[in-house]
Amino acid sequence: MTAKIPEGIVGDLRDFSRSFAALFNNPELSDVVLAVGEQRFYAHKLILTSQSDVFRTMLTSSLWDAAQQPEVQLHESVECERVFENFLRFFYQGQVNCTFETAMPLLLLADKYNVNALKVACDNFMTTQLGRGEYAPALQWLPYSIAFRLESLRVKCVDIIVPNMSAVLTSSTWLQLPLDCIVHVLQSSRLAVENEYMLFEAVMRWVQQENRKHQLQDLLNSILPEIRFSQMTAGHLWLVEQISLRFGGNVKLTEGLQEAHKYRSLVAYAEEEGMDKLEISQTFSARRFFPREYTASSGEAWEWLDWSMPCPGAPDYAALNTAQQGFRKQKFMSNSHLTRVGQWQVTFIAQRDGSLSASMYCTQNRTIRPTLMRFVVCDKQGEPSYIIHKVSAVDVTVANVVSGKKAQEIVNEEGKLRIGVFVRDLE
């Protein structure tokens, strides 16, 4: 009977890795040279094709001229050229140094050449950095996410930027952002800033940078439509008018001011005359009339509510869900405190066809005559998608908010519907 010889794994994996890594950019046994910009890298087809099907096709297919050439010219962006050495190093070492500055171009190269292991590594690195809630990496990666249509990363970046917007506006990075990033960020209604005038000042600092002065008017025309002049106080609008005189009466700036004055005058008139609330809603239904999440003690004030919402299921499904919520809002007006106390009730009705209806009832304390209350229904990303301007001239009013909207359009994955309620003090 033969004794069984014990088995085991032997060898030094680290020594093997070092030997393999030594082949990086080494002319020994190299069978292809990669030319990237002014750089030349000695490479090995076996190593490249084993980890990238793009390189496999490029370097072995008879349909590609590069397969027969000793030197292959690769055309990359300037950002990717700078990190191509590290990208190539990953093929030989299985790891690479990654920083805030290099993560995105490395990810772009990994995606272009379909190097899945590196894509996963870069995505994990970027997700970890964004998970810390720091806005610096989000600002750096937002331009790339927009330019290369990386939707998931763009959403993550915006989610971090918007609550930190006040700090972003005072950072040096703000002045370096490209135009498309500025416009994209300003489109959000979730920006946490003191007031709209603070955003306007930051935009004017951006456009007046020395390298942008030659295209000042074009930049203003692109950005100013995203400034919500209607949400500024009378004092801020006066300051904007003084600034407009220095810019030769820019058309978009003039239009924004005119629209803001119209908004303020009609809202005040509607409050006094009991103007039909739906007429007001239709007049000011565009996104530029939506408030942001202002932190100032005067002007707009938000109360955000999250209600659970049953989602339609069976064909015969019909549900009624009512939520009631009280609120207390302290406002600062004329150097004195006024406390507004009220109750509202929201009733949701999900129809068999999946459409959703909602009615809002608001009761306010008789001792304080309400100025103007508005309700906003948000989409799945938390961005306002519908606004109703409701004049409260009596104690109880009803507003049909989202009649005919599909529930799946505004109810998020957690089955919640987000509604914003705010009061505007007309000064």
Report domain 162-283's class. mainly alpha
Inter-residue contact 106 to 134 (CB < 8 Å) = no
Within this chain, domains 13-129 and 297-424 share the same CATH topology: no
Quote the pLDDT of residue 126: 86
Q: Domain spans of the chain? A: 13-129, 162-283, 297-424
Q: 110 and 119 in contact (C-beta within 8 Å)?
A: yes
CATH label, 297-424, candidates 2.60.120, 3.30.1490, 2.60.210, 3.30.300: 2.60.210
Cβ atoms 399, 279 nearer than 8 A = no
> φ, ψ for residue 293 (rounded to 5)?
-90, 75
Q: Which of 163, 176, 154, 169 is nearest to 134 (CA)?
A: 163
> What is the predicted pLDDT for the residue at 51?
94
**Nearest-angstrom CA–CA distance, 420 and 340:** 16
pLDDT along the chain (427 residues), means of 10: 66 73 87 93 93 92 78 92 95 90 91 91 85 86 83 87 92 93 92 90 92 88 92 88 81 88 73 51 70 63 46 32 33 32 47 52 37 53 55 34 49 56 42
What is residue 365's predicted lDDT score, i.e. its pLDDT?
34
The pTM of this model reads 0.61
User: What is the pLDDT, as a whole number, of residue 355?
Assistant: 52
- Taking alpha carbons only, the member of 149, 166, 158, 164 closest to residue 188 is 158
Spatial distance between the Cα atoms of 70 and 18, rounded to a whole number of angstroms: 26
Check residue 304 and give left, alpha or beta (phi > 0: left; psi -120 to 50: alpha).
Answer: beta
Say whether domain 13-129 belongs to CATH 3.30.930.10: no
Residues 6+ away with beta carbon under 8 Å from 42 = 25, 26, 27, 30, 33
